[in-house]
Structure 1
Amino acid sequence: MRKFLVLIRKKPKRLAGPVLLTSGLLLLSFLLLTGLKPIEPPAQAKKKYNVLFIAVDDLNNDLGCYGNPLVKSPHIDRLARRGIQFDRAYTQFPLCSPSRSSLLTGYRPDQTRIYELQTHFRKNLPDVVTLPQLFKNNAYFSARIGKIFHYGVPGQIGTDGLDDPVSWNQVINPKGRDKVEESQVKNLTPNRALGSALAWYAADGTDDEQTDGLIANEAVRLLEQKKDEPFFLAVGFFRPHCPYVAPKKYYDLYPLDQITLPKEIENDLDDVPEAALFTKPSHWGLGEAERREAQRAYYASISFMDAQVGKLLDALDRLKLTDNTVVVLWSDHGYNVGQHGQWMKQSLFENSARVPLLISVPGGVRGKTSGRTVELVDLYPTLAELCGLAAPSGLAGKSLVPLLKNPNASWTKPAYSQVRRNTIFGRSVRTERWRYTEWDEGKAGAELYDHQTDPDEFTNLAQQASHKDRVKELAALLHKGFPSAQE
């Protein structure tokens, strides 16, 4: 092949203009008379899209691009300008392992039967083909850096956690000084373990010494190594999951006196079922000063993580991969920072169930938002379609490609979320206007919120006679999304 290329690169001997013109006319006349077509060079095969799959742990929608004026997230905001921002995206289960097991298998939690943090999904679905495994099976280089399947945080940082080895060609498990310096973390809720505590630490040193900094650097290294072959690169950041650890410079972005606590109203919980509450007592008894500390630390961790996302976007641009790489950024669930007296996840209020979701497609629509209700389970069929791969049959989600082409396209699909509270389930359906939730199939209470007039979910309408028909309509829609619950 090299000799052939050398030959065709040789310059032809110089011919007189008339001779060259005459030869060309004779050749064209011959082709026309004989009906033969000129030989054309073979069309270059279309290059496969790469996928950069960015997972963020415990990130809610407190981002600049989602309208939070305080939080500084310039790099995620940059990604939003490059693609579609989904304003109503929802987790299927606001807890790490159930959510990730659902997204990565393409099945709902009632199909994976993963409702807690210990059971591996392959115990229940031994033969399932995961999303990264689909790409691996189709000759993509599939790699994981950091947390994609479930890890206990911070306990399992630096290990494989509940990883799925068959999904990857390569895995990397960085461990930074945030793990080494855990003893310096300040725990505002000392009766709670660090993985579920309002705890923080403004660290010395640089970004590159922290686990998420190491994750970003390893991802850039792999992008450099694999830039000439199709890849599915899954990059899982640990922050802002608690404990909220970030270098001091990110804390400096948020003076305590500028932290605005979420709005609360008197007697807010009087019409809320007891089962709906995860944080008991409200705020775990913390006063305003300590809550400001926790919220500041959470925001600092977001800005630190955002800077690591910036490293990835810069590398795509530098390596000229931007024009051939689908970029997805998602969080496994939302996060309460004091709304209704609640903190963290494991509730079905909007702040816990709603997630940030950004998708950038080469040559696609840029800088637009979609207000359609979508789900994390929709990512599997979406990425399969974008990359021309045959997805397994029976996936629970629906491809978002129509919305990536037209963010306001007709779309009637609601979003479903659920959580387990000891022995009972809470199940919720979200349309563009309404959220309806039943606890223990309604036996432990129900909630109905009108997001058109009550976006903070302060008024539960479920027991009001004027909304009886609405409750009936949404209960039918809820039961349609959870058929196994009615068996």
Structure 2
Amino acid sequence: MKNKIIFSVLSVFIFGAAIASPVDKPKSNKKYNVLFIAIDDLNNDLGCYGNAFVKSPNIDRLAARGVRFDKAYNQFPLCSPSRTSLLTGTRPDVNGVYELQTHFRKNLPDVVTLPQLFKNNDYYSARVGKIFHYGVPGQIGTNGLDDSISWNVRINPIGRDKAEEALIKNLTPERHLGSALAYRATGGTDEEQTDGLIVNEAIKILEEKKDEPLFLAVGFFRPHSPYVAPQKYFDLYDENKVPLAKEKENDLADVPEAALFTTPPHWGLDEQKRREAQRAYYATVSFMDAQVGRLLDALDRLKLSENTIIVLWSDHGYNLGQHGQWMKQSLFENSARVPLIISVPGQGGKASSRTVELLDIYPTLAELCGLPAPRHLQGKSLTPLLKNPSATWDKPAFTQVKRKDIMGRSIRTERWRYTEWDEGRAGVELYDHQNDKDEFTNLANDSKYAETVKDLSAKLRKNYAVNKSEAVIKE
């Protein structure tokens, strides 16, 4: 009976359709093109987000002509669940993807994905590189967990970074390369690397399809580990000047054990090796940024900028030693928060401090391009914030992660982050970002904040109940 209820609720929820109103059509009456730039494992350590150490001039110039979202959050800080959520418009508890093996069509066989919506509406839908999940570096050059019916064409370049894997230095040899603090400064040119080849192919598509409605998804592999880039990008950073994460004595004393992905803290690496790893991460950020610049230059050269919406996003954030944690798979701010920039012709150069989600991208693009938005979408169009970044907006962000057999769920408002592990049985966290942006003090057990905890817990549980269907929860 329970399975029948779930199926019937999800069937209604997933497969209906409604029409969104087009807004701000191009002056030429041509359809907007969409350049959809996905970046793997990029946190907010960028110039346009206030990090003066990291060199990201091209993403910074995109931000100068778009709207930069300062409080954007992923739904699950792991590649496949995050990408599945964004691309299907559904939260993980609806699509059932919590790890790196399950393909979403096993659970939602008829769902219309974001690129599929464009393909179904006479756009040429093209993918180059990683959009749906790939194992990195193992599946570079393959289709990975891609979705064939979402695209007219799929291209999977493979560069010398893959060919030279044996030369990579692994600072954490007990961990496999895709989840290791490992790097290589290579010789050769940008265009010999997989991400450089990805841009070459993307530019060819721009040139060949410049007179057609185009949805072009370009997915970069860097800065995902292993951190591989030409030597010149490593030369941008002095290892001895790398700003390590701020740490506080006994920081983890009030943190639930379930909250920790990296154990022991820093995987036991000393300060010098942490600087080495962080420098390599930043080198690959700058390398990837240069490839973004090549795309922007091509748009300008082909006179496509005036008719192209650009969305740049990362699938999740990335810890670089905060709370002793590295990489993703945590519900701390550095892992849950992501860079998100949306550039619409004629708008831009603004920043929004409203709390938004990657889930909001799908309905936003559908509305901007005047396409019929599927009714199953769980995000909210960001078009009001693109026009007025300070517009009234009361939608919180929800992020979750699975830790062995328990789930952690977090709600982020403009001021608070509240997290429950195993519905509170394995621990609770509350951080006040107005006074504690580094999340050093867990206020969850402080009686002064009991009402805040009660309110946020109710919102968190309501969101979960909606996802799984209240009818099933009550049984």
Aligned pairs for 1:78-227 (under 5 A) are 78-227=61-210
- Equivalent-residue separation in structure 1 for 2:224 and 2:240 (angstroms): 23
Q: Show the counterpart of 1:230.
A: 213
Q: How far 1:394 moved relative to its partner?
A: 2.2
Match of 1:430 among 383, 401, 412: 412
Tell me the alpha carbon deviations over residues 45-95 of structure 1, each in whole angstroms, 9 at most, x when there is no partner: 710000000000000000000001100000000000011000000000000
Q: Could you say which residue in structure 2 is the equivalent of 1:14?
A: none
For 2:67, the aligned partner's letter is: I
Structure-2 residue corresponding to 1:37: none
SS across alignment from 2:34 = strand
Q: Deviations over 1:223-251 (max 9, x none)?
A: 01110000000000000000000000000
List per-residue Cα deviations over 1:270-291 (Å, max 9, x = no partner).
Answer: 0000000000000000000000
User: Among 30, 46, 65, which residue is 1:47 paired with?
Assistant: 30
Q: Which residue of 2 aligns with 1:480?
A: 462
- How is 1:30-429 mapped onto 2 (pairs within 5 angstroms)? 46-364=29-347, 366-429=348-411
SS of the counterpart of 1:397?
Answer: coil
Q: Is the partner of 2:376 in helix, strand or coil? A: coil
Q: Give the letter for the 1:272 counterpart.
A: V
Tell me if 1:439 matches 2:429.
no
Structure 1 residues 20-50: Cα deviation after superposition (integer angstroms, max 9, x where no partner): xxxxxxxxxxxxxxxxxxxxxxxx9710000
Alignment pair present for 1:460 and 2:442: yes
TM normalised by structure 2 equals 0.93
CA distance in 2, matches of 1:125, 1:473: 32
SS of 1:482's equivalent in the other structure is: helix
CA distance in 1 between counterparts of 2:240 and 2:91 reads: 42
Shift of 1:367: 1.0
Distance 2:154 2:457 in 1: 43
Using the size of structure 1 for normalisation, the TM-score is 0.90
Q: Which amino acid aligns with 2:320?
A: V
Q: Which amino acid aligns with 2:460?
A: L
Q: Distance in 2 between matches of 1:263 and 1:396?
A: 36
CA distance in structure 2 between the aligned counterparts of 1:474 and 1:415, rounded to whole angstroms: 11
Question: Unpaired segments of 5 or more residues in structure 2?
Answer: 1-26
Query: Segments of 4+ in structure 1 off by > 3 A?
Result: none
Secondary structure in structure 1 of the residue aligned to 2:280: helix
Between structure 1 and structure 2, the one with the greater Rg is: 1
Shift of 1:212: 0.2
How far apart are the structure 2 equivalents of 1:163 and 1:409? 36
CA-CA distance at 1:125 after TM superposition: 0.4
Distance 2:451 2:101 in 1: 41
Residues 351-399 of structure 1: per-residue CA shift (max 9 Å, x gap): 00000000000112x2110000000000000000000001111210000
CA distance in structure 2 between the partners assigned to 1:107 and 1:257 by the alignment: 43
Q: Secondary structure at the match of 2:423?
A: coil
Alignment partner, residue 16 of structure 1: none
Following superposition, the deviation at residue 220 of structure 1 comes to: 0.8
Amino acid at match of 1:448: L
Q: Work out the CA distance in 1 between the residues paired with 2:437 and 2:349.
A: 24
The SS at the match of 1:47 is: coil
How many matched pairs?
443
**1:480 Cα deviation after fit:** 1.8
**Matched AA of 1:146:** G
| 1:449 and 2:396 are equivalent in the alignment | no
Amino acid at match of 2:71: R
Taking the aligned partners of 1:75 and 1:69, their CA distance within structure 2 comes to 14
Letter of the structure 2 residue corresponding to residue 90 of structure 1: Y
Q: Looking at both structures, which has the greater relative contact order when contacts are Cα pairs under 8 Å and sequence separation is at least 6?
A: 2
SS in 2 for 1:308: helix
Question: Residue 202 of structure 1 aligns to a residue in which SS?
Answer: strand
Q: Distance in 1 between matches of 2:376 and 2:386?
A: 22
Q: What secondary structure is seen at the aligned counterpart in 2 of 1:441? A: helix
Gaps of 5+ in 1: 1-43
